[in-house]
C-alpha cells in the first residue's frame, strides 16, 4: 500500500472493527493493530485471510485500489461499444451494430435497424420464441 502510516492504520482499523466481532479473544489481541502484523508469519497470514475474507470494506478496498486499476489499464483500446459510439466516426454515419429487435428503441435517432432478408426467417423464429416465453 502506497499510503502513509496513519492512513494505513485508519484503513486497517476500519477493517478490524468489522471483522473483530467474529474473532477469538486470542486472535483479537494478535491482530489488533497493523503494527502487529507480520506477513512472513504464515499462521498470522492465515488468520488475516480467514477473518477478513468476508469483510466488504476489505474486499471493496482491494478491488478499487488493486484489482480494477491494474486490470483496466491492461488494454490499450476500448473493448466495448454502444449505440452512442456508432456515429462517432469520420463519416458521421452509423456503422456495424449487432443486436436484437428488443433494443431498437434505445438506439440513436440516426441509427435505423435493418433486417436483411436472409435474417427474416430467423427474426420471425425469434419473435415466435419470445411470444411463447411471455406466456
User: What is the distance between the alpha carbons of residues 113 and 103, in angstroms, rounded to a whole number?
Assistant: 10
pLDDT at 24: 93
Average pLDDT, integer, range 28-44: 91
pLDDT at 135: 54
pLDDT > 90? residue 17? yes
Q: DSSP for 42-99, please give it.
A: HHHHHHHHHHHTT-HHHHHHHIIIIIHHHHHTS-SS-----HHHHT-STT-S------
pTM of the model: 0.49
| pLDDT band at 131; cut points 50, 70, 90 | low
Cell of 42: 504464515
pLDDT at 4: 79
pLDDT > 60? residue 71? yes
Domain ranges of the chain: 5-72, 83-134
Among residues 61, 50, 53, 74, which one has the least CA distance to residue 12? 61
Amino acid at each position: 500500500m502506497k499510503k502513509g502510516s496513519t492512513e494505513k492504520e485508519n484503513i486497517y482499523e476500519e477493517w478490524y472493527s468489522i471483522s473483530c466481532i467474529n474473532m477469538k479473544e486470542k486472535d483479537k489481541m494478535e491482530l489488533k493493530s497493523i503494527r502487529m502484523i507480520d506477513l512472513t508469519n504464515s499462521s498470522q497470514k492465515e488468520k488475516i485471510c480467514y477473518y477478513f475474507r468476508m469483510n466488504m470494506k476489505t474486499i471493496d478496498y482491494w478491488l478499487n485500489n488493486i484489482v480494477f486499476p491494474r486490470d483496466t489499464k491492461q488494454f490499450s483500446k476500448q473493448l466495448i461499444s454502444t449505440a452512442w459510439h456508432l456515429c462517432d466516426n469520420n463519416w458521421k454515419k452509423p456503422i456495424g451494430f449487432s443486436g436484437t429487435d428488443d433494443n431498437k428503441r434505445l438506439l440513436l435517432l440516426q441509427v435505423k435497424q435493418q433486417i436483411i432478408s436472409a435474417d427474416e426467417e430467423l427474426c420471425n423464429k425469434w419473435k415466435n420464441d419470445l411470444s411463447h416465453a411471455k406466456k
